[in-house]
Amino acid sequence: MKNGVLTPVVQFDESALQREHYVYEVFRVIDGVALFLEDHLDRLYRTVELSGYPRHLVPVNFMDQVYMLIGSHSLVEGNIKVVVLPDGPNSPADFLIYIMEHQYPTDNDFTKGVSVGLYRGIRVNPNAKIMDTQLRSNANQAKQQNDVNETLLVDADNCITEGSRSNVFFVKNGRLVSPPLKDILPGITYKHVFLICNRLGISIIEERVFVSSLPEFDGVFTTGTSRKVLPVNKIGEFRYNPDLPIIRKIQAEFNDKVAEYIAGVKLLKTNNA
pLDDT at residue 130 greater than cutoff 90: no
Determine the pLDDT at residue 5. 95
Helix ranges (H only) for 55-200 are 62-73, 107-112, 133-146, 188-200
CA separation, residue 240 to residues 116, 145, 197, 272 (Å): 11, 22, 21, 48
Distance of CA 188 to the CA centre of its chain: 7
Q: Is 84 exposed, middle or buried (0-12, 13-18, 19+ CB in 10 A)?
A: buried
What is the value of pTM for the model shown? 0.92
> Which is more confident, 9 or 33?
33
Distance, first Cα to last Cα, the chain: 24
- What is the pLDDT confidence band of residue 89, given thresholds at 50, 70 and 90? low
pLDDT at residue 133 greater than cutoff 80: no
Residues of the chain with CATH 3.30.470.10: 19-100
- CATH code of 19-100, in short, is 3.30.470.10
Strand, helix or coil at 155? coil
Residues of the chain with CATH 3.20.10.10: 107-243
Non-local CB neighbours of 142 within 8 Å, separated by 6+ positions: 117, 119, 151
Q: Which residues make beta-bridge pairs with 150?
A: 116
* Contact between 88 and 122 (Cβ < 8 Å): no
Please state, in angstroms and rounded to a whole number, the distance separating the CA atoms of residues 99 and 106. Answer: 21
Assigned CATH topology for domain 107-243: D-amino Acid Aminotransferase; Chain A, domain 2 (3.20.10)
* Contact between 273 and 146 (Cβ < 8 Å): no
- The mean-pLDDT minimum among 31-35, 103-107, 143-147 falls in 143-147
pLDDT at residue 203 greater than cutoff 80: yes
DSSP 4: T
Task: Tell me the residue type at 252.
Answer: A
* Contact between 166 and 122 (Cβ < 8 Å): no
Determine the pLDDT at residue 90. 67
- The mean-pLDDT minimum among 1-5, 23-27, 136-140, 205-209 falls in 136-140
